[in-house]
Chain A
Amino acid sequence: MKYSVFAAGILSATAIMADTPELTVYTYDSFVSDWGPGPQVEQAFEEICACDLKLVGVEDGAALLARIRLEGAHTDADIMLGIDTNLMSAARETGLFAPHNVTTEFDLPVAWEDPVFLPYDWGYFAFVHNAGEDAPANFRALAASDKTILIEDPRSSTPGLGLLMWVKAAYGDEAPAIWEGLSDNIVTVTKGWSEAYGLFLEGEADMVLSYTTSPAYHLIAESDASKAAAAFDEGHYMQVELAAKLAATDQPELAGQFLEFIVSDAFQSIIPTTNWMYPVRVPKAGLPAGFNGLIQPEKSLLLPADEAAALKNKALDEWLTALSR
């Protein structure tokens, strides 16, 4: 069994090598799913690259980086696509990634300049609730209200970690007090985004930690205007999703071409209605109609990657202490 599979692998690999080069992109699982950007991205890139684009899905952003670290310098990946700024520092420390050499103007609310990590989409974290219900205007008001919330665990989920950084960026040393105030609003803490959002749709809580773009999904895909995101006046923390080229890639030119591709119109116009995030460069055709009615935070929060990494353990301890009472 093993040998036949192994042999088949070698045969197909040589067959492909003979015709077209192969570019391997490791990404998170929801990117490659039938409902994610993967299928369209693959088609669009293969039209211009004369290559075979192989997308490999690895659970979530954290698992993705762990997988690449596990494979180390011998990784099969040419590109890693899908970590966010909270993981960027750890990714940089591995020394496995090479500069992207892409110059472009980003439509990001914050300045972005990094020689290695290239943003491909972004969003704001936000609490999503049923439209028509009044929502608190900041964390203090939320803590004082009797609104119930569902959040993701920062130890197992990237949005959960994002919320941790949001409170830390907005409140600094006051963060523990904010968490203590929130502790009686929290219905439960889930392993990942899907569980929390699923519970929210079942009516288990008034609000769920998600993105400002979540209502656009319901509006565009389901013609359902019943969801809204609460605008918080202390600002919203951003999630910037990043791609990078592996230093050990055996397809450096193709990898470079792919990185140029992800900031191009073809890739960026796929993102909004498949990944339900903002493109880093607004496509010529503009954003889909459902995105126009979304809340626009007055202030964008984003800790520099190194600062976020340095603060993480302290913030996590504060969170655990406040919620374990």
Chain B
Amino acid sequence: MREVEFKAVNKTYPNGYVAVERLDLRVEEGEFLVLLGPSGCGKSTTLRMLAGLETVSNGDILIGGTKVNDLPPGARELGMVFQSYALYPHMTIEDNLSFGLRMAKQGERLDSREIANRVGEAAEMLDLTQLLDRKPKALSGGQRQRVAIGRALVRRPKVLLMDEPLSNLDAKLRNQMRIELRRLHELHGTTTVYVTHDQVEAMTLADRIAIMHGGILQQHAPPLEAYHNPNNPFVASFLGTPAMNLIQGKVENQKFKAGDLCFELPDHLKDTQCGNYTFGIRPENVNVVSQGGLRCDVRGVERLGDQTIYHLNAAGQEVTALRHQQIDEGFTSTTVDTSYVHISLTEPATVLFPQ
């Protein structure tokens, strides 16, 4: 009974800007759903509508089967972790954690012993017990982050909402917290909606990713499925670094043509009808070989130690190839000594998007 459902939800601002358009999405009980997209794609607006901080222009939002469109935020039994943590700066950590419980409506208020219990449990779980007397100012970013999570959890929310919670942390801490968040979720399985623009977070945390762009839901699928079978060029280019190679051209006689570039389509795409398409292949599926295959000019090489990224030009089309160092035997020297290379494609990993 803790599932969330968006039914044809629209959000139009008074100035006419459409932030979210016809969103249909279901978050199952216990699921960790990540809303992913570039900034301004409507993912935060979606979350804020679910929280009740923004009004819904059209459509319904249901939590546990109950329509909540017009319920005030406090009635929805949600917990939310804000990007800036939104801790109460003048309260100690203990007060921060217990404030919501202490201020609950008359009749729903817990007795003070129960409040203390819950705060104690949350503090223990998040390793905050030593910090309960401090104020947020005296805490590090990661500690504040944990307080924010604890505050969201002490109310035992139906759904936990997180709005880019890791974006204010440095890279190392972010990795730690990612693992921590996943562990917490596995521990108690609260339905979670998590907003981020960082695909690494999305890939590692999510049970399912919902990718949004321009207010429209592009695809929702488990992370690896979205990665390997993107619905459209946007999803394809948004997931994965470096981004997927996308070449616009047309299919004729089982061949793909883009300007001077022309090659046979892989077997699984042979049946494609003629027309305009975008051809896609991930950089790691572009193999750099010493001979044979397609000849490309080398525009630049980035050596990252464990992997090397080649920026290539194949008959006028930009192509990026990514090779892991140990199997990249032909080109171990630190300087580019060739102006061209040959590439081949790992054929099953290619996709075609109709234009």
Q: Do A and B form a real pair?
A: no
A residues near B (Cβ < 8 Å) are none
B residues near A (Cβ < 8 Å) are none
